[in-house]
Amino acid sequence: MSGPDKPKVIGEEWSDERVKSFLAIKPYDTAINADFNALLKAYQAMTAEDFERFVGFFVDAGRDLNAVNEDGQTILDRISEHRKGEAYARALAQAGAKTSAGAGN
């Protein structure tokens, strides 16, 4: 059964394959940058540790860590706005992500 009655799973181990599966996520709206969308969806779904692994796979796949959304923000801009985003932002910065001011956008 799914929905509100289904208990939330805490401490679940994510395999490399599951983490990498977020590389294939495509936005519903073709006007949305696919790289920004994949990073956002991974951020929303993963723990900081899994997200850090995802960022490594993302970079290895030649994807753009500095892709921007429709407002000109990078994913680092968006995550830096969140109170609990520090570990995620650190993983991005260590991999070479920039804010929109630093990316020259």
Task: For 19-51, write each residue's pLDDT tens digit.
Answer: 999 999 999 988 899 999 999 999 999 999 999
Q: Percent of the chain at pLDDT above 70?
A: 86
pLDDT tops 50 at residue 63: yes
Dihedral sign, CA of 53, 45, 95, 19? positive
Alpha-carbon gap, residue 76 to 32, rounded angstroms: 16
The pLDDT of residue 11:
67
- pLDDT at 69 exceeding the cut of 70: yes
The set of long-range contacts for 8-16, using a CB threshold of 8 Å and a minimum separation of 24, is 14/46, 14/47, 14/50, 16/53, 16/57
Q: What is the share, in percent, of the chain residues with pLDDT greater than 90?
A: 75
Please state the pTM of the whole predicted model. 0.84
At 74, which amino acid appears? Answer: T
CA distance 13 to 74: 28
Residue 59: C-alpha distances to residues 8, 23, 26, 68, 97 (Å): 30, 10, 17, 16, 10
DSSP 22: G
Segment 52-69 shows an average pLDDT of 97
